[in-house]
Amino acid sequence: MRLFIAIDLTDEMRKKIIEIKKKLTSGEFDVKFVEPENLHITLKFLGDVEEDKIGYIYSVLENVSKKFKGFNVEIKGLGYFGSSKFIRVIWLGIEKGCSEIVSISEQLEKELGFLRKNEFKTHSPHITIGRVKSGRNKDKLLRCIEELKDVNLGEMNVNVIKLKESILTKKGPIYSDLKSFKLS
């Protein structure tokens, strides 16, 4: 099973992100946007996991969720990974709530480290909204990103983390919730 641990976005936040995506789709860019129902903040990507490890993952998530209280995140700023010559990913940043996300991610890495060892780097919380497939109209895309770099979508409350499964298809990934864990 291909698994990851994430924070889901509220429906209200998804609607705001759809409006941002509309501004980015007006320029005939070669971008594959993330489906609204798949938008999330990744805490830890586990990759392919054998089913007999699921029980252990559940117990770790139960334990980790009890160590953290609910918190607010502010979604602010648009940017990209890659370089101005080759943009790979377009993302929305996390302002308020960053330290909480990083702390949860580090705790997950510590307790689930046997899964994908050496994968943890400095965690930069973000929401991937699109993957750039080619450099078509790259300069115009860079201008659009620059115009939206200070966008502020507001805050949302985080009180649940989820273990999710990702099934890859030709049309894109399909995510399903395996189990939710309420923060204390």
Adjacent-strand bridge partners of 163: 5, 179
**Residue indicated by tokens 């889901």:** 8
Residue 123 is among the residues annotated as catalytic for this protein: no
29 closest CA partner among 135, 111, 105: 135
SS (H, E, C) 62-94: HHHHHCCCCEEEEEEEEEEEECCCCEEEEEEEE
DSSP for 17-76, written as a single string: HHHHHHHHHTT---EEEPPGGG-EEEEEEEEE--GGGHHHHHHHHHHHHHT---EEEEEE
Identify the active-site residue in 16, 123, 126, 164. 126
DSSP for 114-172, written as a single string: TSSTT-------EEEEEEE-S-TTHHHHHHHHHHTTT-EEEEEEE-EEEEEEEE--TT-
Identify the active-site residue in 29, 33, 40, 44. 40
Residue 126 is among the residues annotated as catalytic for this protein: yes
Catalytic site positions: 40, 126
